[in-house]
């Protein structure tokens, strides 16, 4: 059993997509170990996305993720990290495959509806940040 962090980002929460997105995880044998709705502040956002701090989109990214409530979840299951990434689809929804969460729901590369840890190391760090 593996754990990964999933975020339902502010654009999806605002559009009442929490249930539809959670359905995708549950239909694919991922269990929700922990879950909370939270409005993070700018300081938390900068810490969460610190690996992107040299990227040109860092400022907008931090403003966006702290712009409204999000849903943070620990997803659990076999191969949960990779499975979640496949279910989300490509970061840029215009490149995401049919049937993926981002293809179905995302608005743009910024407002891309969901986040998922990209490795075991990230999952550990991100779960500790949201759930310790
Ligand atoms: P996420 O999986 O939350 O991780 C970092 C986020 O940066 C990513 O989703 C995108 O929403 C956002 N982002 C904005 N511009 C880019 C870009 N050019 N490349 C990658 N990620 C980007």
Phi-psi region of 99 (alpha: psi -120 to 50; beta: other; left: phi over 0): left
Q: Which residues in the chain come in under a pLDDT of 70? A: none
In the prediction, which pLDDT does 8 show?
A: 99
What's the chain's average pLDDT? 98
Protein residue closest via CA to atom 10 of ligand 1: 110
What digits encode the pLDDT tens for the residues 56-90? 999 999 999 999 999 999 999 999 999 999 999 99
- CA 50 to ligand 1 centroid distance, Å: 12
> Which class is domain 2-131?
alpha beta
In the prediction, which pLDDT does 43 show?
A: 98
In the prediction, which pLDDT does 42 show?
A: 98
In the prediction, which pLDDT does 10 show?
A: 98
| DSSP one-letter string for 74-105 | EEEETTHHHHHHHHH--SSGGGPPTTSHHHHH
Sign of CA dihedral 131, 19, 49, 43: negative
Listed by start position, the domains of the chain span 2-131
In the prediction, which pLDDT does 77 show?
A: 98
- CA 18 to ligand 1 centroid distance, Å: 20
Sequence-distant (6+) residues with CB within 8 A of 44 are 66, 129
- This prediction has a pTM of 0.97
In the prediction, which pLDDT does 27 show?
A: 98
123 and 7 Cβ atoms separated by less than 8 Å: no
Pocket test for ligand 1, best of 10, 91, 113, 119 (most atoms within 8 A of CB): 91
């Amino acid at each position: 059993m593996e754990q990964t962090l999933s975020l339902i980002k502010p654009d999806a929460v605002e559009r009442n997509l929490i249930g539809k997105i959670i359905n995708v995880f549950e239909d694919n044998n991922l269990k929700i170990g922990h879950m909370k709705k939270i409005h993070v502040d700018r300081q938390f956002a900068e810490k969460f996305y610190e690996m992107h701090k040299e990227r040109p989109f860092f400022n907008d990214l931090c403003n966006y993720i702290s712009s409204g409530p999000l849903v943070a979840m620990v997803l659990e299951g076999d191969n949960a990290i990779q499975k979640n990434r496949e279910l989300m689809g490509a970061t840029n929804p215009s490149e995401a495959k049919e049937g993926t969460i981002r293809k179905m729901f995302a608005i743009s590369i910024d407002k891309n509806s969901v986040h998922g840890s990209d490795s075991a190391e990230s999952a550990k760090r991100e779960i500790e940040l949201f759930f310790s």
